[in-house]
Amino acid sequence: MPFTWQLILYLRAQIKGLKRFEHIVDVVLPLALPKTMSYRVGEDFRSQLEFGKRVEVPLKNKLYSGIVVGPVYSKEIDYPIKPIVSILDEQPIVTKKQYDLWKWIASYYCCTLGEIMSVALPGNLKLYSETKITGVEDYEDHIADLTDDEYMIMEAVSIQGELSIFNVQEILNKKSVYPAIHTLIDKRLLFVKEELVEKFKPKKHAFIRFPTQYAEQEAWLTEVFDKVDKSDHQRRALLAFIQHKNKNNEALKSLVVKTAAVTGSVIKAMVKKGIFEEEKKIVSRLEAEEMDLEMLSPLSVLQQTKLTELKQAYENHDTVLLHGITGSGKTRLYIEFIEEILENGRQVLYLLPEIALTTQIVERLRKVFGDKILVYHSKLNAHERVELYKAAKTGGKLILGARSSIFMPFSALDFIIVDEEHDASYKQQDPAPRYNARDTAIVLANIFQAKVLLGSATPSLESWINAKEGKYGFVSILQRYGETLLPEIQLVNLKDAYKKNKMRSYFSKDLLTAMSDEIVMGRQIILFQNRRGFAPVLQCDVCAWKAECRNCDTTLTIHKYFDEVRCHYCGFRQNLPPSCPSCGNEHLREAGFGTEKLEVELKKLMPEARIGRMDYDTAKTKNQYEKIIYEFSSHQLDILIGTQMVTKGLDFEKVSLVGILNADKLLAFPDFRATERAFQLMTQVSGRAGRRHKRGKVIVQTFSPAHPIFTDVINTDYEGFYKREYEERNKTVFPPIIRAIEITIKHKKQHIAQEAGMLYRELLYKEIGQRVSALFTPSIPRLRTYYMQKVFIKMERDAKVNAAVKKWVQYFRLKIQNSKGFKSVRINIDVDPY
């Protein structure tokens, strides 16, 4: 019947081209999609849909939870559009101001809204898609056709109604269950059911109380005591209840049980008797225990002057840089601002490097602000994260957090403090969004009309220049509180020391003598070495074999303590080989040294000293970290050897000597910020010495004592250092003189990375000319099995030019990734690389 066919085709074409009005809403999905997605809104959802609520939506046969980012609008369309499946929230979880920040980050850092959503929301608010399967009922007709596995699946499904993939694995007692499931789907006996499951469940606690009708009656109490007369247990429980009941006349059941030293069954019996009622209620995980707040000591005269200067600076500037040497009282000044703002019921965001959040500073602020503090850090569990996220909507709070806390749903943000503003951990490296939380905080503040205080003992060159050019206000305190002097710094020339036989292992005699002297005086020492593990290279001098990573172009670091060699980039590890795997030579050489080797060597040289070590290997968890801090601060250790970890946010009263084992390593990084970082690190480590009572001492061992950086560190000559560093960047044309984008092109096959890189660079060159460098291979060409090629873009400091360049950078990325042969090429764009 040819006529019918034609008619059907004709009608289909008509329907397809038919224009109609639909109600539509735009949604951000947690995927790296270039734009928002549109969905149809059914009649029943229209009144409940609101900006910032999560909705369940389909994409390519999967379900996702996305965020509604606009109003419902009506539009004439002629293409098929999928509907919203459900609304997941009663209250919005993202505010319009948050979304404004997301949009700025996406455009400035060249990333997608979905990538931002992934870091901005706590894990439990992003729903997971759990595959469930269900089956048809009349499968028994097909039993003859089924394998054993297939039969077992069908039987289980028919009994239980539905199964997860995990259930199927359990039933069949094997991992690979997809083939059987696929066959059953092909036979049309099974269906896959995609279902979103809300993971976050608020915590519930059992409370007990007197029955409401009696609660207020005096006589009831006498009656109750009569009722429990015969049971000692019940009487104790009653007394404990009276002791613990709160202003709502309720008490936490677990608390009553504990105080009365009875079992839960005692309470149960009392509920049965009608003495108590029991109810499960949601309690916040964040309710801090009440604690005594400490009185603040008054500001010193100098601090008072600086506070006035800061307030004046805010009259003309939204952002002020506070350059205060270690121990000058920056934190004390922050507290002044925080107090005033919290009293007005407004909010303060206090940003810190992650590691500093686990230490003394949080305790110190808790003593002042008690339960007004919310601390957002990576060690919180998933439930706590959600509660904290939601709590950030209330005013009168101080929110303390690492870089990702800029994504909180603030309601009344008035002030942002970025402490240690120079710290590299404010910049997210991988994955996208590669944002800098310090710079983003300034944009966030702008959205709220709030003020920003950047604080550091060693500001970044960027902020220093901004302050000198008048873009930021500037206040400096160059005196320690209590007027302890900054430590005296002594250089030890390693070349000389080796020549004159004045070295014992990696320690100069000067350093060893100074350490013994301090220990005798009952004081403590910090030793800094910027490398963990035992030694970075294991090699054979007979055949030139080296222990190398199979995923990266790098050597494996020896970890004797774990009896392993490990890759510090990808985590690959192997047992420590007893002899050369290539030629059998039993005398393998360990080149270089890390903190672990220092500890072993120092124990030999100073057997009576109590030595501890703090690095990523010994302080991986919060507990391990706090244990070491506790041991050192309670003087159970004389010497603490550590990596960068020892430089941040610590304040030990008895530390009078700091040793830097090998300063040259700090200067040798192939990075335009190497000198700046070395200056900051040395100054920060030095700041750990002699903080309270006595002038401390720092001993720096180096092969190149003539390097001008040491003069600056010794004289604490900030002006001198920044001036020289600025001139250097001017000469070599690097940020902050210009703006930069670093682009990495990656692929598992070397030639594909190379070809894609060449093409990408060529396309860019045609549009932006000399601003793009030639394609180059990074110093470690392969990481985590990916070969890499790079280009570096330098742009004039001009917003229009920057925007245009970023447009091309993204346009050509898409173009390359859509062209044949390059679909699996990864191109990472890093704006303002750090």
Residues forming contacts to Zn ion in the complex (CB under 5 A) are 540, 542-543, 545, 549, 551-552, 567, 569-570, 572, 580, 582-583, 585
CB of 689 to ligand ADP, least distance (A): 13
Q: Which of 63, 172, 271, 299 binds ligand ADP (CB under 6 A)?
A: 299
Q: Are 561 and 551 in contact (CB under 8 A)?
A: no
Distance CA(317)–CA(294), nearest Å, equals: 33
Q: Are 757 and 791 in contact (CB under 8 A)?
A: yes
Q: What are phi and psi of 477, to 5 degrees?
A: -125, 115
**Rounded Cα–Cα distance for residues 48 and 28 (Å):** 18
150: which residues sit within 8 A by CB, 6+ positions away? 180, 183, 184
Between 245 and 332, name the residue whose CB sits nearer to ligand ADP. 332
Shortest Å distance, C-beta 692 to ligand ADP: 7
Verify binding: residue 481, ligand ADP, rule CB under 6 A: yes
Complex with ligand ADP: residue 330 or 434, whichever CB lies closer: 330
CB-nearer residue toward Zn ion: 578 or 769: 578
The answer to whether the beta carbons of residues 124 and 386 sit under 8 Å apart is yes
Q: How is residue 189 written in tokens?
A: 């006996």
Output the smallest distance, CB 353 to ligand ADP, in A: 13
* Binding residues among 720-779 for ligand ADP as defined by CB under 6 A: none
The candidate with the shortest Cα–Cα distance to 452, out of 308, 314, 346, 306, is: 314
Nearest approach in angstroms of CB 656 to ligand ADP is: 16
Q: Can you spell out the DSSP letters for 734-791?
A: -TTSSEEEEEEEEESSHHHHHHHHHHHHHHHHHHHGGGB---B--SS-EETTEEEEEE
- On whether the CB atoms of residues 106 and 113 are closer than 8 A, the answer is yes
**CB neighbour list of residue 103: distance below 8 Å, 6 or more residues apart:** 113
Among 30, 66, 114, 329, binds ligand ADP (CB under 6 A): 329
545 binds, among Zn ion, ligand ADP, none (CB under 5 to 8 A by kind): Zn ion
Q: Which of 235-243, 293-301, 338-346, 588-596 is the region at the interface with ligand ADP (rule: CB under 6 A)?
A: 293-301
| Structural contact between residues 795 and 769, judged by C-beta atoms closer than 8 angstroms | no
- Beta carbon of residue 833, minimum distance to Zn ion (angstroms, whole number): 22
If DSSP codes are grouped into helix, strand and coil, which group holds residue 125?
Answer: helix
Q: Are 24 and 41 in contact (CB under 8 A)?
A: yes
Of these partners, ligand ADP, Zn ion, none, which one is at the site of residue 540 (CB under 5 to 8 Å by kind)? Zn ion
Closest to ligand ADP by CB, 102 vs 652, is: 652
The residues pairing with 319 across neighbouring beta strands, listed in sequence order, are 452
Check residue 327 for interaction with ligand ADP (CB under 6 A).
Answer: yes
Per partner kind, with CB cut-offs from 5 to 8 A, the member of Zn ion, ligand ADP, none near residue 572 is Zn ion
- Give the CA distances from residue 111 to residues 115, 318, 434, in Å, rounded to whole numbers and listed in that order: 7, 27, 8
Beta bridge partners, 207, equal 252, 279
Would you mind telling me the total number of residues written for the chain in this entry? 834
Choices 40-48, 294-302, 442-450, 806-814 (CB under 6 A): range interacting with ligand ADP: 294-302
Which CB, 65 or 328, lies closer to ligand ADP? 328
SS (H, E, C) 131-162: EEEEECCCHHHHHHHCCHHHHHHHHHHHHHCC
**CB-nearer residue toward Zn ion: 375 or 556:** 556
| Residue with Cβ nearer ligand ADP (226 or 483) | 483
Instruction: Please choose which of ligand ADP, Zn ion, none residue 158 contacts, taking the beta carbon within 5 to 8 angstroms, the exact cut-off set by kind.
Output: none
* Count of C-beta atoms within a 10 Å radius of residue 136: 16
What's the longest Cα–Cα distance across the chain? 106
Coil, strand, or helix at residue 422?
coil
Q: Which phi and psi angles does 795 have, rounded to 5°? A: -125, 150
Q: If binding is defined by CB under 6 A, does position 683 make contact with ligand ADP? A: no
Q: Please identify, using beta-carbon distances, which residue of 589 and 693 lies nearer to Zn ion.
A: 589
Of the candidates 120, 121, 131, the one whose C-alpha atom is nearest the C-alpha of residue 197 is 131
The single residue among 14, 173, 297, 634 that binds ligand ADP, judged by CB under 6 A, is: 297
- Find the radius of gyration of the CA atoms of the chain: 32
Comparing CB distances to ligand ADP, the nearer of 299 and 447 is 299
Q: How far is the CB of 457 from ligand ADP (least distance, A)?
A: 7
**Minimum distance from residue 327 beta carbon to ligand ADP (Å):** 4
Member of 36, 38, 112, 303 binding ligand ADP (CB under 6 A): 303
Give the single-character DSSP code of 526: E
Residue among 197 and 544 whose Cβ is closer to Zn ion: 544
Nearest CA to 131 out of 208, 53, 190, 91 is that of: 190
Q: Which is nearer to Zn ion, 552 or 709 (CB)?
A: 552
Q: Are 197 and 64 in contact (CB under 8 A)?
A: no
Candidate list 36, 38, 118, 328; residue touching ligand ADP; CB under 6 A: 328
Binding partner of residue 549 among Zn ion, ligand ADP, none, CB cut-off 5 to 8 Å per kind: Zn ion
Q: Which is nearer to ligand ADP, 654 or 761 (CB)?
A: 654
Min. distance of Cβ 298 from ligand ADP in angstroms? 6
Of the candidates 286, 415, 392, the residue with the CA atom closest to the CA atom of residue 339:
415
State the nearest-atom distance from the C-beta of 415 to ligand ADP, in Å. 17
Residues 306, 330, 677, 813: which binds ligand ADP (CB under 6 A)? Answer: 330
Closer to Zn ion by Cβ: residue 396 or 581: 581
Q: Which does 412 bind (CB under 5 to 8 A by kind): ligand ADP, Zn ion, none?
A: none
- Smallest gap from Cβ 296 to ligand ADP, in A, equals 8
Q: Among residues 114, 122, 324, 433, which is the contact residue for ligand ADP, using CB under 6 A?
A: 324
CB nearer to ligand ADP: give 330 or 613.
330
Name the residue nearer to ligand ADP (CB basis): 249 or 304: 304
327 binds, among ligand ADP, Zn ion, none (CB under 5 to 8 A by kind): ligand ADP
What letter does residue 405 receive in the DSSP assignment? G
β-sheet bridge partners, residue 472:
none
Tokens matching residue 409: 């749903």
Say how many residues touch ligand ADP, by CB under 6 A: 14
Q: Which is nearer to ligand ADP, 329 or 659 (CB)?
A: 329
Query: Within 641-680, which residues bind ligand ADP (CB under 6 A)?
Result: 651
Amino acid at 394: T
* Structural contact between residues 641 and 612, judged by C-beta atoms closer than 8 angstroms: yes
Strand segments, DSSP code E, in 83-140 are 86-87, 128-135
Element (H or E) spanning 829, and its range?
strand 826-831
401 binds ligand ADP (CB under 6 A): no
Q: Residue 543 touches which of ligand ADP, Zn ion, none (CB < 5 to 8 A by kind)?
A: Zn ion
Residue 300 interface partner, choices ligand ADP, Zn ion, none, CB cut-off 5-8 Å depending on type:
ligand ADP
- Choose one: 127-135, 324-332, 541-549, 557-565; the region binding ligand ADP (CB under 6 A): 324-332
Query: In the Cβ-directed half-sphere of 171, how many Cα atoms lie within 13 Å?
Result: 22
Q: What is the DSSP letter of 378?
A: T
Does position 332 interact with ligand ADP (CB under 6 A)? The reply is yes
Positions touching ligand ADP (CB under 6 A) are: 297, 299-300, 303, 324, 326-332, 481, 651
